[in-house]
Amino acid sequence: MRQPGFRIDGLQYANWSEKIFRQLRAGGVDAIHVTIAYHENFRETVLNFERWNRWFEQYPDLIMRGLWAGDVDIARETGRTAVFFGFQNPSPIEDDIGLVEILHTLGARFMQLSYNNQSLLATGCYEAEDAGITRMGRQVIKEMNRVGLVIDMSHSGDRSTIEAAEISERPITITHANPFEWSPALRNKTDAVIQAVVAGGGMLGFSLYPHHLKGKSDCSLQSFCDMIARTAEKYGAESLGIGSDLCQDQPDSIVEWMRVGRWKQRARLRRGLCCRAGVSTYAALVRGQPRFWQYRDGPEGHRPQRGRNLWDYGRQLVPFFPGQFWRSERAIEPLMVSQAGQNLRRVGGAKPKS
């Protein structure tokens, strides 16, 4: 039985440094899903893995590589944060399905099928028409299921997401977004999309990025907690988590890279679109990296759901978020965790004996 109280962040893309690693420890974050590629090709992604290898060597008392469920336990027991890697775009596999297994072997555990635009696999949420999962996308989903690479549809269109949930033999995830009915941004998710994901055992991670929030940088903690409460009542708290989407200390040039990659000429960012806005939101809403996890009951004792607090959503390793894997003969196996983060429900097979 796992001990209660795990704190997991479903996604961040910070400008990583010793300062941030120490802030993660100050906040008691046990595991974090780190974006290691946005628009990088395979070779560029390998270089990003190499950079993280150096950080693991330099800060072994603060961070550790996360690959399996037991790594979250080890991180908690040794006072470190387990880092699990993911891609916000399928660009690292280029046009070669064989790279899925290779990247999983290198340490990737999450991959989005599209990032805002049409990809070789699926349609992004900013396209005018959503053609759904492509022929290659269907094959890649099968391969991701086989090796244990989690399907993330955070930046994909509605039809593509619903089809991915139907095609995948494993639960899929939306690691960082909010309900569209609360904040009608193109990146947020409709009821039909959320229902399709959670019906298959998947999860939604609540995002704190300003453009995903009601009122953007002026969003209050009360409004955020009320939204969580309504969503939990509708879909069940066991299907919810936290994916902050924090891009702490990133310069505007990186945000421009996130938005446009290589698909168009760089344009001047509109005011308020940069990560500085995201940092200001954290200052107003959750007071930065270490302070977020210090909120227990929300504003003036308000709980997002009766008997629960914001920590509980950080404990949700549902249904297979970073720590939710056991090693199997061919894949990492997703698990489910109850509302308190204690009772596990297997989705995959058993961990082999060592």
Q: Which of 158-172, 176-190, 231-245, 303-317 has the lowest mean pLDDT?
A: 303-317
Residue 258's pLDDT is 79
The angle at the Cα of 59, spanning 54 to 61, to the nearest 5 degrees, equals 145
The fraction of the chain above a pLDDT of 90, given in percent, is 58
pLDDT at residue 260 above 60? yes
Burial grade of 290 (CB within 10 A; 0-12, 13-18, 19 or more): middle
Angle between helices 158-167 and 191-199 (to 10 degrees): 10
Whole-angstrom CA distances from 123 to 30, 127, 206, 295 are 33, 7, 22, 37
Q: Residue 284's pLDDT is what?
A: 57
pLDDT at 325: 38
Q: Which of 175-184, 261-270, 313-322 has the highest mean pLDDT?
A: 175-184
Which pLDDT score, from 0 to 100, does residue 295 have? 55
pLDDT band (50, 70, 90) for residue 339: very low
Class of domain 8-346: alpha beta
Would you say residue 273 has pLDDT above 80?
no
| pTM exceeds 0.85 | no
More confident residue, 109 or 291: 109
Residue 207 pLDDT greater than 70, yes or no = yes
Half-sphere exposure of 75 (CA within 13 A, CB side): 30
Residue 248's pLDDT is what?
87
**What pLDDT does 72 receive?**
87
9-35 mean pLDDT: 93
Question: Which amino acid belongs to residue 342?
Answer: Q
Which has more pLDDT, 84 or 324?
84
3-class secondary structure for the chain?
A: CCCCCCCEEEEECCCCCHHHHHHHHHCCCCEEEEEEECCCCHHHHHHHHHHHHHHHHHCCCCEEECCCHHHHHHHHHHCCEEEEEEECCCHHHCCCCCHHHHHHHHCEEEEECCCCCCCCCCCECCCCCCCCCCHHHHHHHHHHHHHCCEEECCCECHHHHHHHHHHCCCCCEECCCCECCCCCCCCCECHHHHHHHHHCCCEEEECCCHHHCCCHHHCCHHHHHHHHHHHHHHHCHHHEEECCCECCCCCHHHHHHHHHCCCCCCCCCCCCCCHHHHHHHHHHHCCCHHHHCCCCCCHHHCCCCCCCCHHHHHHCCCCCCCCCEEECCCCEEEEEECCCCCCEEECCCCCCCC
What's the pLDDT score for residue 99? 98
CA dihedral for 107, 112, 117, 123, sign (positive or negative)? positive
Contact 30, 4 (CB under 8 A): no
